[in-house]
Structure 1
Amino acid sequence: MTKNMIFTPPAHPWPSDCDHDAIVLIGRMQPGMHLGHQELLERGLERAENVVVALGSCFRARSPKQPLRAVEREASIRSCLTDEQNRRVKFVYIRDYYDDQRWCAAVREGVQSVTGKNAKIGLIGHEKDRSSYYLHRFPEWKLFNELCVGGLNGTDVRALWFERDHERGAEAVLRTMLPEGTFDFLMAFKKLPDFESLRKQHYAILRDAEKWKAAPHVPNHSCGDAVAEFRDHVLLIERGGDIGTGTFAWPGGFLEPDETVIECAMRELIEETKLGILPEYLKTFIRDRELFDNPWRSEAGRRMSHAFHFVLDEAFAELSEGEFPFVQGKSDARRALWLPKKKLPSLEEYMFEDHHLIGDRFFHYA
C-alpha cells in the first residue's frame, strides 16, 4: 500500500490469493441492501482488506425507484455489518449523468478519493442483464464477475415494500430477501409521511403501464420542456399530479399529435405558468435546444424530452429592476415561481427525474 493511502493498515493478513488494496462494489442498492448485495460485499472483503461501495443514482429527488437518500442507504447498509466490517467498508456517492464518460470519471474520482492514486483496485459485481454493461467500463480494474445470489433484485424488493393489498404477506417475503438491518430500516421508513406519497406514485406508474399493455410495441412518448430565463432567474414549477408530486421541474409535457416539439414546449410553458406572451413572439427568444433521450431517464416509461432554452430579458424589458413577469401555477403545476439561477445546484435532490441535468446542459453547474 502506498504512503498516501487513506485506508488504515490491515489488522490481519489479506487472503493469500489477493493482492488488491481495495475492491469496488457499484450499485444503487434501492431501497437498501438485499442478501445478494450482502453476499457480494462479503466476497469483496474476502479478496481485499477494504471494499469501496460506490452508491449510484445519488442526489436525486425521492421517487418509487429511488426512494432513499444516499445517506439513508449508507446507514441502512452499515446497520447490517459487523464493527470490523464497517471499519473496512467505505462509501462514495455517485450521481447519474446519463453520460458514460462523465459517470465513469466520477466513479474513478470517488474511488481514488478514499484509496489514493496508486492503489491496486478490483471490481466485483454480477452481470445480470444489459444494465450491467458498466462492469466493463473499467478495464484497468480486475473484474470479479460473481454468480447471482438467489435471483434477488431491487425491483422485486420495492414492489413488495410498496404492496398495499397484501401488506403483511409481502413483509413476510421481504424478511427472506433482506438482512435484518435493511428490513428494520424499511419498516421504520413506512411510518414516515414520504412513504405513502411514494407508494401512491408507484401505483400510478403501474396504472399508466397497464394502459399500454396491449400495444404492439413499447410506446415511445415525446415531450417538450421549456427552460425560461429572465435576468439571472429561471422559471420552475412545483409538480402536482400523480407522479413526481412536490418536486421542482421545468414546465413541460407530452407532444400533441398536431404540433411540433417547439410548439409543445411553448404551449406547456404558457399553460402551466400563465406567462403572458404570445407563442409567435416567445419563439424568437429561443437560444438553445437539446434532446434528452436516455432510455432510463423516466420511471414512467420511454419518454424523450426536447428541451428549449428561452432568454426573456428583451421580451419583458419594460419591467423595473426587481420585477418579474407574472406567473401562476396552472394545469398540473401546483405553483410557478422565479428562482435565482445560482440556486439551481442546491435544488438537485428536489428536481423531478433528470431535470437537474436538463438545467446543467444550459447553465453548466453539475
Structure 2
Amino acid sequence: MNDKFDYLIFIGRFQPFHHGHEFVVKEALKKAHRVIMLIGSANSPRTIKNPFTFDERAKMILKAFDDECRHRIWCAPIDDKLYNDHQWLQNVQTAVCHLVEKNARIGVIGHTKDDSSYYLSLFPNWEAIELPNFENLSATPLRKRYLKNGEIDEQMPKSSQEFLAKFKNTSDYTHLADEYAHIQTFQDAWKNTPYPPIFNTADALVIQSGHVLLIERKGDYGYGLWALPGGFLNSHESLLDCAVRELHEETGLTVDKHSLKYSQIFDAPERSLRGRTITSVFYFELTGASLPKVVGKDDASQAFWLPLANLDGKMMFEDHYSIITKMLGL
C-alpha cells in the first residue's frame, strides 16, 4: 500500500533559501509525490526583510535540486495579509485548490521555529508534519550579514550562493545595503536606553471618488515607495492633530476634521524595521466634483491621487498596503 501524500505544502518566505529549508523539502519529497512551495511576501517591495522577489526565490529553490526532484516541486506566490488572517488563509486554500485535484491527500510540513511558523496549526483538514529545526538555521542572521558586509554564508545551497554573488553587483543590493546601514544608525541612537523605545506615529488615509491620496517617500528609509501621509507624534499634540499636520506638511492638503469617518490603531510588533512603532490611522472621506490639488513637500518627493484599482503592494511602504485594504475592506 502506498502511504505517500499526494502533496505536501511548505509555506515560508525563504529570504534566502538555506539548508534548513532544503532539509524540509528533501523530507517532503520522501513523503509525498509532489511538494508545493507557497512563497510568502510575494507582493512586497524590496526591503531588508524581504530583499528578493518571488521569481528570484523560486529560482533559488528549484536550482537547488536535480531534474527529477525539480519536476516534483511547484512554487506559487502568496500575498501578505498582515491584518487579515482569514484572508491569508483563504489565499492559501485557494492557491492549493487551483494546483491539486479533488480528493488528493494533502499535508502541511515545516518546523516550529518562531511565531512565523504558527501556520502549521491553521489547517485542520490537512495533516501537519512537524520537523526539527535543521542546525537551528534562520534566514535572518544570514540576511543581515549579507546586507551588512556582503557575506555569503555556506549554510545555503550553491544556487542561493550563486544568486547572492550576482545580486551583490546590482543597484538593488546597493540600495538595500544603504538602507540597512541607515536603520542600524537609527537604532544605535537609542541602543543604550534602559528600555527599547516605542514610537508613536499618525497617518492619514484620505479617500475621494475611488482614489487614495499617497506620497512618494524621498528619505533614506523607504526611498521611492508609496506611503500614506503621516509621521511621528510631537509631544504637545494629539494623534488626530498629528495626522492633520503631517497631511498638510507632506501634501499641502488641509482637511476638515468633520470629514473624519473613523480611526484605527495598527500595532503589529514588526510593522516597522526601524523599531517598535504603533500608528493611528485616521480615515477621511472627501466629496467634490474634482480631486483637490496636492503637491509633495517635506518628506515627500511627490503627492498624488491613485485610483484604488491601481494599488500595488510591491510599491507600498511598510504595512501601508495592508492598512489601506483593511480599513477599506478591499
Aligned 1:27-106 pairs, distance under 5 A: 27-31=12-16, 33-98=17-82, 99-106=84-91
Q: Tell me, yes or no, if the aligned pair for 2:148 and 2:180 is still in contact at 8 Å.
A: no
| Matching residue's letter, 1:46 | K
* CA displacement 1:125-161 (0-9 Å, x = unmatched): 1112233222222233222211122222111111121
Q: Tell me, yes or no, if the aligned pair for 2:252 and 2:295 is still in contact at 8 Å.
A: yes
Which of 234, 244, 251 aligns to 1:266? It is 244
* CA displacement 1:299-327 (0-9 Å, x = unmatched): 222212211111222xxx4xxx5x54232
- Work out the CA distance in 2 between the residues paired with 1:267 and 1:312: 17
Deviation at 1:17, TM superposition (A): 7.3
SS of the residue corresponding to residue 256 of structure 2 reads helix
- Work out the CA distance in 2 between the residues paired with 1:156 and 1:17: 40
- Work out the CA distance in 1 between the residues paired with 2:148 and 2:3: 43
Deviation at 1:230, TM superposition (A): 2.9
Residue 334, structure 1, aligned to residue 295, structure 2: no
- Going from structure 1 to structure 2, the CA distance change for 1:348 and 1:192 (only over 3 Å counts) comes to same
Structure 2 counterpart of 1:183: 161
Residue 22, structure 1, aligned to residue 22, structure 2: no
Deviation at 1:262, TM superposition (A): 0.9
Structure 2 counterpart of 1:160: 145
Deviation at 1:39, TM superposition (A): 0.9
Unpaired segments ≥5 residues, structure 2:
none
Structure 2 counterpart of 1:138: 123
Structure 1 counterpart of 2:329: 364
- Work out the CA distance in 2 between the residues paired with 1:146 and 1:358: 34
| Matching residue's letter, 2:43 | F
| Matching residue's letter, 2:272 | S
Identity, % of aligned positions = 36
Q: Tell me, yes or no, if the aligned pair for 2:39 and 2:54 is still in contact at 8 Å.
A: yes
Deviation at 1:294, TM superposition (A): 1.5
TM-score by length of 2: 0.94
- Work out the CA distance in 1 between the residues paired with 2:25 and 2:292: 53
Structure 1 counterpart of 2:263: 289
- Going from structure 1 to structure 2, the CA distance change for 1:301 and 1:117 (only over 3 Å counts) comes to farther
Which of 307, 310, 318 aligns to 2:281? It is 307
- Work out the CA distance in 1 between the residues paired with 2:183 and 2:201: 17
| Matching residue's letter, 2:318 | E
Deviation at 1:97, TM superposition (A): 1.1
- Going from structure 1 to structure 2, the CA distance change for 1:22 and 1:289 (only over 3 Å counts) comes to same
Structure 1 counterpart of 2:94: 109
Aligned 1:230-249 pairs, distance under 5 A: 230-249=208-227
Report the more deviating stretch, 152-161 or 213-222.
213-222
- Work out the CA distance in 1 between the residues paired with 2:315 and 2:306: 14
If you compute each CA radius of gyration, which structure gives the higher value, 1 or 2?
Answer: 1
* CA displacement 1:84-143 (0-9 Å, x = unmatched): 111101122111112322222221221222123422112211112233222222233222
- Work out the CA distance in 1 between the residues paired with 2:32 and 2:104: 12
- Going from structure 1 to structure 2, the CA distance change for 1:254 and 1:26 (only over 3 Å counts) comes to same
Q: Tell me, yes or no, if the aligned pair for 2:10 and 2:35 is still in contact at 8 Å.
A: yes
Deviation at 1:42, TM superposition (A): 0.6
- Work out the CA distance in 2 between the residues paired with 1:221 and 1:93: 32
Structure 2 counterpart of 1:194: 172
- Work out the CA distance in 2 between the residues paired with 1:357 and 1:55: 18
- Give the aligned length: 329
Superposition RMSD in Å: 1.8
- Going from structure 1 to structure 2, the CA distance change for 1:111 and 1:218 (only over 3 Å counts) comes to farther
SS of the residue corresponding to residue 71 of structure 2 reads helix
SS of the residue corresponding to residue 25 of structure 2 reads helix
Which of 184, 207, 216 aligns to 1:229? It is 207
- Work out the CA distance in 2 between the residues paired with 1:292 and 1:337: 24
- Work out the CA distance in 2 between the residues paired with 1:92 and 1:222: 36
- Work out the CA distance in 2 between the residues paired with 1:252 and 1:18: 55
